[in-house]
Amino acid sequence: MKLLTFASLLITSQFSALNAAPNIGKKVDKIHPKVVEWRHHFHQFPELSNREFATAKYIAKYLTSLGLEVQTGVAKTGVVAILDSGVAGPVVALRADMDGLPVLEQSELAWKSVQRGELDGNDVPVMHACGHDTHIAMLMGAAKILVDLKGQLKGKVKFIFQPAEEGAPRGETGGAEVMVKEGVLKNPDVDVIFGLHISSSTDVGKVRYKEGGTMAAVDPFKIVIKGKQAHGAYPWSSVDPITTAAQIIMSLQTIVSREIKLIDEAAVVTIGSIHGGNRSNIIPSEVELVGTIRTLNAASRKHMYEAIPRKVHGIADSMRAQAEVTLPLGQSYPITFNDIALTEKMLPTLMKSAGRDNVIYSKPVTGAEDFSFFQEKVPGLYMWVGGKPLDVSEDQAPAHHTPEFYVDDSGMKTGVKLLTHLTLDYMHLH
């Protein structure tokens, strides 16, 4: 454990008084059948980003039944609830995302999704293909336990059920960025925020974490190359945007391989879309490239923003073409950065919740998470919770965002424990 320093171990002694508190494990076992019921409901009836109307209504009704102060319509469909202990202390935020994906589920589950939705004017299937159904259910379970333990709390808990983590539909805004702009971290002002993600490739019962940059910043971009159209038989009459594009694509890869200090953190430049021309014997006047940047530290991200236009314009000039760079293109996410001091402070809580041998120091990933918008404003800790059945090997586990995606219900127990313990322990350390 990289962060399991002597100082971290000393913190464990601060939790000794908490061991006398009601047994969280027993409470999690008691609420688990309900958590499973909620998960199956949300999985069977998923909704797309910014369209989580029924999901939000279901959540709000339950939170209201717990006696919580509930706000709806946050960032369009978000739900926020506050638990006030009545005792002075910190404000701890817990976050779960709610949206599904335009994926056609391929499973034999009795509670599989057959839902349809509309995306950019098209009828599409909808599936919880990333586990957000489990995130909602785990946070609802933690809310119930924390309400029951109100007398053990110091401060307030803010439960944040977030829409549109997967990205708002074309022409819309949404997700954590909008929630922050609308003041979700204010009134009361949040001191710290915790979030987690189920993992289909991590064994049930295990928790993965990393301090610092843990998920990448994502910055989409577009390059438009303008040349001069000509007959394909007479290329000397053209300014060829296709050969210019080819040179630009290859050159962009050298930013990562020759300009980024990869021994510190990984970085990625990917071109995912090329459009230009319509016949074999016509050199077109224009080519469009669309791609993404993934970086895990601020220095690499800043360098990418400088290097891409430099490469593009330099090559375009050498080819007598013109180029326009749009960076970022639409919505971009910051680095999901786990506050280093907070991660070290809460590491004993992870071990208490899952068991010392089940807490795994993880490598960063180049996927992205808009939980990062919360972490830009307040210290945050984001973790992965195992959802892979123990009788399934990691290489056979279905990936996230696929029709076969699956995580086991039993993995949610660890998530509920984490959310509950992190709240209690952080409050009693402040």
Q: Is 376 a catalytic residue?
A: no
Residue that is written with structure tokens 């669309």 in the block = 290
Yes or no: say if 373 and 333 are a contact pair by the CB < 8 Å rule: yes
Neighbours of 409 (CB within 10 A): 18
Q: Is 408 a catalytic residue?
A: no
Kindly name the residue from 52, 99, 265, 339 that is annotated as catalytic.
Answer: 99
Kindly name the residue from 47, 105, 133, 165 that is annotated as catalytic.
Answer: 165
- Rounded to 5 degrees, φ, ψ at 285 are -90, -15
3-state secondary structure the chain: CCCCCHHHHHHHHHCHHHHHCCCHHHHHHHHHHHHHHHHHHHHHCCCCCCCCHHHHHHHHHHHHHCCCEEEEEECCCEEEEEEECCCCCCEEEEEEECCCECCCCCCCCCCCCCCEEEECCEEEECECCCCHHHHHHHHHHHHHHHHHCHHHCCCEEEEEEECCCCCCCCCCCCCHHHHHHCCCCCCCCCCEEEEEEEEEEEECCCEEECCEEEECEEEEEEEEEECECEECCCHHHCECHHHHHHHHHHHHHHHHHHHCCCCCCCEEEEEEEEECCCCCCEECCEEEEEEEEEECCHHHHHHHHHHHHHHHHHHHHHCCCEEEEECCCCCCECCEEECHHHHHHHHHHHHHHHCHHHEEECCCECCCCCCHHHHCCCCEEEEEEEEECCCCCHHHCCCCCCCCCCCCHHHHHHHHHHHHHHHHHHHHCC
Residue that is written with structure tokens 């817990």 in the block = 94
Q: What are the residue numbers of the active site?
A: 99, 165
